[in-house]
Structure 1
Amino acid sequence: MYSHIPSNPSIAQNDFTLQKDGELDLKVLLFNYLQYWPVILLFILGGFSSAFLFNRYSTNIYKVESSILVKDEEPTLGMDLFESSGLGMLQGKSNIENEIGILKSFSLAEAAISGMNLNVQYFIEDFFSTSQIYGSLPVMVSVDWNKLQLVGGRFRLEVIDRDSFELTVQNDDFMIHNPADSYYKVKREQPALLEREKYSFGEEIAGDGFSFVVNQISALPGDVLLFNFVDTPTLALRYREELSVSPLNKEASILSLSLETPVRRLGEEYINKLMEMYLAKELKEKNKASENTVKFINGQLSGISDSLRFSENRLQEYRTKNKIFNLSEEGSVIFQRIQELEVERGLTEIKLNYYEVLRDYLNTNQTGDMVAPAVMGVTDPLLNSLVQAYSELQADQNTLSSNFTDKSPAVRENSTKIQNIKKQLQENVNSAVINTQNLIKDLDDQVRMLDIDVNSLPETERNLLGIQRQFSINENIYVYLLEKKAEAEITKASNMPKNNVLDFAKAGQLPVAPKKSLNLLIGMILGFIIPIGFITVKDFLNTKIDDPKELEKDIKVPLIGMIGRSVSEDKIPVLNNPRSSVTESFRSMRADMSYLSPVRNNLAILLTSSISGEGKTFVSINLASVYALMGKRTLLIGLDLRKPKIAEDFGLENDKGMSTCLSSDIPWQEVVKPTGHKDMDVILSGPIPPNPAELLLQGKFAQIIKEVKQVYDVVIFDCPPVGLVSETKELFPYADISFFVFRQGYSMKANSQILNNLVEKGGVSKIYAILNDVHIDKGYGYGYGYGYGYGYGNNSYGYHEEVQLPWWKRALRRK
């Protein structure tokens, strides 16, 4: 209870809110959590311990890094026309982004894994974890991937001796890998069954859907090894997702490759193999142009070689038969001129043939590499630039299509560029075909003009000139094609990848995971947050009255006193343990009563509550007892005719009482019973009547109360809960002071509205609130403690004597 309460209740109410709300709320919140400090500390230690164990037994993860220099291709003559044009054909093309796409492509990962033999994974078991091993293996498992195989599950191998081992299935979560359709696997419904448990090294182990051989390397008897099979597409997808490729910085064209793995050597070898396949793929792409050039020239040579052989034989036969070997001076001049025109015409026909092949290539939407125009002697810089740009865009499209869908923005943007440049290329090729055809026609006209001069020569010489002319044309074209073929083969042999490896893969010496310090910090934070969150949610969902401050805000009358929970099981601690802190709280109520009512003699006090079980009878009995200890003649009247409890607490028989007086002519003096204390009597409620409300409304009850007040100094009314029955409302006028009892941790918060309605709507005056059974410390600042009553707590410093219960009973009572 408060140490001092002003005589004016309204002033008392105002004094309760003198402290700043913000400061008080912070204290309440802090003390609310501090009362659970053992639980919070336990959770923090638990979180720290869990993080420590996680760091201790989790697998270390290492980061493997390497770098590649990506060289920008120098634009050929005429490329700047498209890069600076407004057509948008080459704008936005990022060589770095394309190379990143290639390095993270599924096809490149699949090629790297296919060359590393990673389809069998080996593990060893520790006490708490399982670790993958790589490199120095005690056994080697050979798998025939051309047959059905079980993937996903796990086998356990235990070496018996140098020649045999025991094999069991540890994890039966298998899927069936079909080599005919390796990208799609089906779940195996039946468990994998082995023919027997003991096998010999080198023996084929076959069954329904699997076939493999275990070979001995350095295994010793007693060694235990776990292994499982993983198909190449699954591994490629996994490593593709785990690989990180990013530019070293925004300005540099250096790509950094990194991979986090528990096996450092495996990560290093995979990234090195990936870079090897990347450079091989780039070189293969560059060699395709030379290979296609050689293929095109070989096709031209196959036709011209037959013509050259035929014309050579015909020339030799004609010279032998006609015994003529050289032309006359006039014939030589004519032949020289015709030969020049014919050679030019032959080379022009080769260009026309190339243009027609290129046109067919574009019209049929082929995707193979095109032969560069410069190889065939086409010196048009615009056409060369268009063909090169078109080839690069097609290569980019193949890379993007292997990583993204056709509807992705990158693929659609690149397709638009291809269509734009293809349209320009088709127009240029069609124009080149027409111009070349016109040039051939002009050359034919010049040759026909020279044929007139040829007719003036003798017949023998004229025939020789015709045969020798045909031979020279075929010979010059043949030599020209051989030169171009040699150039293409030299180019292929001298090709090198434009990109190169700066740093080969190297794993860090320290693991990047688990992050031990961070995990310990997170464990402690979670250990702190979890109980705090639970307490916060519990308080938020709590519908019971716990906080006196909150109760003060909710009710319209002053909170006069708080009665703590007694550590003993005594129902009347005021009489049986007068030095207890609970007894002292009732003494404080008695002392402060003079401020609440001017009545000094014949004081009538009424106690009620909202529902049963809130301690109304306990407060009534002990409040009466504290007045009796003072020497006041006190009478406790049990007016709860429906559910009487006073008789049980005093050890009396409820054979007669107030119901007896009201329902018969028996005077009230005859139903008064002694309590064992000389200054305290009690009128029990008596046998439960059928009409308790009507009995209390009789005029006889008012007469009894009037007479009682003349005999006793203090009269205490133990009334039924006003929230459950109606007759209590009729009893308020008989009291000088009324108390409404709440119980901490029991009374509903909504019950405060019942008290407010009595004041605002029922017109009840001089009614105050009491909080009973205070045992939850909300940090209100009044110093009450668990089980020691309001105002003193555990630290009584010798002023109070408490009857201590066993610890397990105290724990149960607190619950």
Structure 2
Amino acid sequence: MQQNNYPNPPYQVMEEEDTIDLRKLLFKYLRFWPWIVVSAGLGVILAVFFTRIATPIYKVEGTVLIQDGSPSLGADLFDGAGGMFGGKNNIENEVGILKSYTLAEEAVRKMNLNVSYFKDGIFSKPQLYGNVPIHAQLDWKHPQITGGLWKIKVLNTEEYELSIEEDNFSVFNPADPFYKTKLENVQVQEGRYKFGETIEGDHFKFSLENTSALAEEVLFVKFMDTPTLAQGYREKVQVAPTNKQASLLNITLETPVRRLGEDYLNHLMEAYLDRELKIKNQASENTVRFIDRQLSGITDSLTFFEDRLQKYRSDNRIFNLSQEGSIVFERLESLEKEKSEAELRKKYYTNLREYLSNEQLDDLTAPSVIGIQDPLLNALVINLAELQSERVRLSANFSDQTPAVVEVKNKIQNTRKTLLENVRSALTNTENILAELNQKVKMVERDINALPETERNLLGIQRQFSINENIYVYLLQKRAESEITKASNMPNNSILDFARAGALPISPKKSLSYLIGLILGLMLPIGVITVRDFLKTKIEDADQLQHDLKVPLLSQIGKSKAADKRVVFSKPRSMVTESFRNLRADMAYLVPHDQDTLTLSFTSTISGEGKTFVAYNTAAVYSLIGKKTLIMGLDLRKPRIAEDFDINYSKGISNVLSSNMDWREAVVSSGFPDCDVLLAGPTPPNPAELLMTEKFARMMEEVKEEYDVIIMDCPPVGLVSETKDLFKYADINLFVFRQNYSHQDAIQFVNELKAKGDVKNLYAIFNAVEGSSGTYGYGYGYGSKSYGYHEEEEKKKWYSLK
């Protein structure tokens, strides 16, 4: 028999771009709206609970004003020569100083933060600060365990009970303070102790004092070493300019204890100003040390010549020089004063040269403090001292290979070489001046030789006394000036705003927490649904099926909950029956109107997808309109019609094909008008070969002559081979998919059949559809609401995820 060829049917597969249908996506998730609402509510409730138990975090802020000092002459010269020296106060440098470990350590030491105290709470342990009920005394010269948490239960004013709350201890060794070892087991006897009693072991030594603790009060203490505390606070503190143009630095710290944060930032800013003042005072201190070394020798000489002058005057009864001697002495005294000042400068230059050669840059003294008025030399010494301070600061926080440290070291070497050359030149000039003064002194000494011997000797002694006296007075004057300078020094920078915490905590924020709780509550069920859809292997959605199939999806058949599978006959007003009527109506568009007979084949990928159910009830809707209909059970391997539809007859197609029996003898009535059944019969040993015989082909011709509609219930095409040979007898071939049962691989199987061209007029049916599987809520053809047109079946529970 020739296969029927029809014109293009109205159901054409359209090539569509892969676009996201937002409305479809929305309705997909709205199917589970009760779950989403419940989850969102739980998220908000958990957020409220979190905000109540979470420890509030406060933001503490302080402000430092950075004053840009006026550059010195030497700095201007060298800046113009190539930018060797930066400004005195570089904002980035000041930020680095404020965040340095050195300042953090100094602040921690001043505040004595090595012991933290906590009180017992329901969900957390709030930290106590200030007036604590107990006080711990630790011997930091002894190894100490840090990091863990001790529990203190006060028994009375004299005793307490000690136990370990959190065993997370490390051992701090004072011999190596920057390295700690983990301690697994703490060898301490838990139990009763007296306040004031020293508790000592290999890794701890401490005692507790009761200041205001009451009986039955429970407290907790934690010991922390200074290096760990300093490093922790250093990482927590944030320093940043208020804006790019201003020289204001904003210092912030986030902490659960407002007062503690305020005190720490204030101590940090004070340590910052103390450091600057210490650097400024260093030049005065170096000057005082230099002058004190000179005075130690001058004082002895001055005393010696003072005694000698007094004795000589007494012995020789001469107290004043003659007029001529006084004139000579004044000339000589003036020269000796110039000579002593030149020798003092020479000593300074000599010491400065030794410091530079030996790189003792911390002992530099500015030339101006001892009366040397050389602007370039003075600027070089000051700049070199500042560069040395910068190197010390950077080396405390960075390695020697860091670019910033390398750059500062290069600047120090260049400045040191330049300064050393200037010192050598100044030393040569000073030696020339001394030689010239010595010549002048020799000329005056000739005039002295013309004086009487007694006066000449008096003049010599008085000359030595005057020289030492002038030097002594000069040094005392410079020392006093240096002390005054040191006392009057003030930091260039200043604290503009002392640390102050905000009135409200920055964390947790109620509105933000509620929003996050709501979002997480919404995202959890949506995420579960999305992951579930991503991992699913079964076909669930009709639209996705229609999108992926290369053949038209002809109809959707609702899931019947009736016990009788002949639903068209048993429930003629149900929605499932109506979906079969829709299938019958759609079928009219697929065949020519003048065709007298219609042959339909039904198959699926595997058994259980409902092809027999769909085939039987499709036959039933045709019989209801008076079409003489025959249902043929062609699944000879696993026949289901007799069992599923309660038909008691043992003969069928296998008997007809394997004997001389006429096929009409095997036909039985379904029990309903115009609907007959031709069962498969007993399972033969060769079902595929029987269906390929010439006898079967003749039988099909005869059947089509006697019946208006022939329904072929074929075997699953994915399991057996004979189904492909049966397709040629049908006008329309229908492939049945079942919701939540058929695998997605079945779609590819049907697409391959279409691509190979083995099957003509192939269409798909989506069976056992529950709820609204179609787009935007449509299902069964009329929608999910019947409004009295159909019998209502039991609705799916709202909490079901299927």
TM-score normalised to structure 1 length: 0.91
Q: Residues 479, 93 of structure 1: CA spacing in aligned structure 2 closer, same or farther, 3 A cutoff?
A: closer
CA contact (8 A) 1:27 1:779 kept: no
After TM superposition, the structure 1 = structure 2 runs for residues 524-535 of structure 1, keeping only pairs within 5 Å, are 524-535=518-529
CA contact (8 A) 2:69 2:88 kept: no
Quick one: which of 553, 557, 561 aligns to 2:551?
A: 557
Classify 1:150/1:724 alpha carbon distance in 2 versus 1 (closer, same or farther; 3 Å). same
- Where 1:12 maps in the other structure, the secondary structure is coil
Per-residue deviation, 1:570: 4.3
Q: Deviations over 1:307-354 (max 9, x none)?
A: 223333333444444444444433333332222222211111111111
AA matched with 2:160: F
Q: Contact between 1:658 and 1:686, CA under 8 Å: does it hold in 2?
A: yes
Residue aligning to 1:3: none
Conservation of the 8 A alpha-carbon contact between 1:635 and 1:716: yes
Given that 2:543 and 2:774 are in contact with CA atoms closer than 8 Å, whether structure 1 keeps it comes out as no
Does 1:796 find its partner at 2:775?
no
- 1:645-694 superposed Cα distances (whole Å, 9 cap, x missing partner): 22321235685432233233333334334433343332332333332221
Which residue number in structure 1 is paired with residue 238 of structure 2?
244
- Output aligned runs, 1:320-399, within 5 Å: 320-399=314-393
Letter in 2 for 1:709: K
Aligned to 2:657: 662
Report if the CA contact (8 A) 1:122-1:226 is conserved: yes
1:13 match: 12
State the partner residue of 1:452: 446
- Correspondence 1:290 to 2:280: no
For residues 757 and 274 of structure 1, do their structure 2 counterparts lie closer, same or farther at Cα, with a shift above 3 Å needed?
closer
Q: Aligned partners of 2:184, 2:378: CA distance in 1, in Å?
A: 60
The alignment status of 1:215 with 2:209, answered yes or no, reads: yes
Taking only the aligned residue pairs, the percentage that are identical comes to 54
| One of 493, 504, 507 as aligned partner of 1:499 | 493
Inter-CA distance 217–779: structure 2 relative to 1 (3 Å threshold): farther
Matching of residue 233 in structure 1 with residue 227 in structure 2? yes
Residue 3 of structure 2 aligns with which residue?
none
Cα distance, 1:153 vs structure 2: 0.9
Cα displacement string for residues 374-424 of structure 1 (whole angstroms, at most 9, x for unaligned residues): 111110011111111111222222222223333334333333332332232
Unpaired runs of 5+ residues, structure 1, are: 1-6
Range with greater deviation from structure 2 (282-291 or 105-114): 282-291
Q: 1:314 to 1:419 in 2, by over 3 A?
A: same
| Worse-matched range after superposition: 386-395 or 241-250 | 241-250
Q: Distance in 2 between matches of 1:695 and 1:411?
A: 95
CA RMSD in angstroms, aligned pairs only: 2.7
The one-letter code of the counterpart of 2:256 is P
Using the TM superposition, give the Cα deviation of residue 59 of structure 1 relative to its aligned residue in structure 2, in angstroms: 0.9
Deviations 1:121-170 (A, max 9, x none): 11123222221121232222222222222211111122222322222111
1:518 Cα deviation from its structure 2 partner? 1.5
Aligned counterpart for 2:140 among listed residues 136, 140, 145: 145
Q: 2:623 aligns with which of 618, 622, 628?
A: 628
Q: CA deviation at 1:811?
A: 7.3
Counterpart CA distance in 2 for 1:776 and 1:544 is 17
Residue 307 of structure 1, aligned match among 297, 301, 307: 301
- Shifted more, 229-238 versus 68-77: the winner is 68-77
* Other structure's SS at 1:454 match: helix
Deviations 1:416-471 (A, max 9, x none): 33233223212211211111111112212222233333333444443333333222
SS of the residue 1:506 aligns to:
strand
The counterpart of 2:576, out of the listed 574, 577, 582, is: 582
Distance 1:678 1:115 in 2: 105
Q: CA deviation at 1:301?
A: 1.0
**CA–CA distance in structure 1, aligned partners of residues 482 and 19 of structure 2:** 88
Deviation at 1:58, TM superposition (A): 0.6
Moved more, 611-620 or 73-82: 73-82
Q: Residue 544 of structure 1 contacts residue 744 of structure 1 at CA under 8 Å; is this kept in 2?
A: yes
Counterpart CA distance in 2 for 1:613 and 1:548 is 18
The worse-fitting range, judged by mean Cα deviation, of 572-581 and 739-748 is: 739-748
Partner Cα separation in structure 2 for residue 144 and residue 576 of structure 1: 94
CA contact (8 A) 2:582 2:781 kept: no
Q: 1:92 to 1:691 in 2, by over 3 A?
A: farther
Equivalent residue in structure 2 for 1:187, among 182, 189, 192? 182
Cα offset for 1:227? Answer: 1.6
Structure 2 portions without partners, runs of 5+: 1-5
The one-letter amino acid of 1:11's match is: P
1:513 & 1:396 partners in 2: Cα distance? Answer: 38
TM-score of the aligned structures, taking structure 2 as reference length: 0.93
Report the Cα distance in structure 2 between the residues aligned to 1:171 and 1:580, rounded to whole angstroms. 68
Aligned residues: 796
Distance in 2 separating the partners of 1:287 and 1:569: 102
The more displaced of 453-462 and 363-372 is 453-462
Instruction: Say whether 1:224 aligns with 2:218.
Output: yes
Q: Conserved in 2, the CA contact under 8 Å of 1:660 and 1:686? A: yes
Paired AA for residue 580 in structure 1 = S
| SS of residue matched to 2:209 | strand
Aligned to 1:178: 173
Alignment map for 1:74-93 (pairs within 5 Å) = 74-83=70-79, 85-91=80-86
Structure 1 partner of 2:508 = 514
Secondary structure of residue in 2 paired with 1:731: helix
**Aligned AA for 1:75?**
P
Change (3 A) 1:26 1:495: closer
The farther-off stretch of 329-338 and 99-108 is 329-338
Alpha carbons of structure 1 residues 776 and 428: separation in structure 2 relative to 1, 3 Å: farther
Amino acid corresponding to residue 181 of structure 2 in structure 1: V
What does residue 710 of structure 2 align with?
715
- The answer to whether the 8 A contact 1:628-1:634 is kept is yes
User: d(CA) in 2 for partners of 1:12 and 1:776?
Assistant: 24
Deviation at 1:541, TM superposition (A): 4.9
Q: For residue 573 of structure 1, what is the aligned residue in structure 2?
A: 567
Alignment partner, residue 29 of structure 1: 25
More displaced 10-residue stretch of structure 1: 669-678 or 38-47: 669-678
Provide the C-alpha distance between the structure 2 equivalents of 1:645 and 1:97, rounded to a whole number of angstroms.
Answer: 86
- SS of 1:606's equivalent? strand
Residue type of the alignment partner of 1:403: N
**Alpha carbons of structure 1 residues 664 and 779: separation in structure 2 relative to 1, 3 Å:** closer
Match of 2:200 in 1: 206
Which whole-Å CA distance do the structure 2 matches of 1:695 and 1:421 have between them? 109
Shift of 1:582: 0.7
Match of residue 523, structure 1, among 489, 514, 517: 517
> Where do residues 609-688 of structure 1 align in structure 2 (5 Å cutoff)?
609-652=604-647, 655-688=650-683
Q: CA deviation at 1:296?
A: 0.7
Provide the rounded CA distance (Å) in 2 between the counterparts of 1:643 and 1:625: 22
Alpha-carbon distance, 1:540 to partner: 4.5
Which amino acid in the other structure matches residue 29 of structure 1? L
Q: Indicate if the aligned counterparts of 1:567 and 1:802 stay in contact, CA closer than 8 A.
A: no
Q: Distance in 1 between matches of 2:235 and 2:649?
A: 83
Distance, in Å, in 1 between the alignment partners of 2:135 and 2:508 is 31
TM-aligned CA deviation for residue 206 of structure 1: 3.0
Establish whether residue 771 from structure 1 lines up as the match of residue 770 from structure 2: no
Could you tell me which residue of structure 1 aligns to residue 40 of structure 2? 44
Distance 1:567 1:193, change over 3 A: farther
**Structure 1 93/371 Cα, relative in aligned 2: closer, same or farther at 3 Å?**
closer
Query: Could you tell which deviates more after superposition, 690-699 or 746-755?
Result: 746-755
Cα separation, partners in 2 of 1:105 and 1:779, compared to 1, 3 Å: farther
> 2:671 & 2:269 partners in 1: Cα distance?
100
Q: CA deviation at 1:22?
A: 9.7
Following superposition, the deviation at residue 174 of structure 1 comes to 0.9
Contact 2:36 2:521 in 1 (8 A): yes
Cα deviation per residue 1:221-252 (whole Å; 9 max; x = unaligned)? 22111221111111111111212222333333
Give the 3-state SS of the residue equivalent to 2:10 in structure 1. helix
One-letter code aligned to 2:684: P
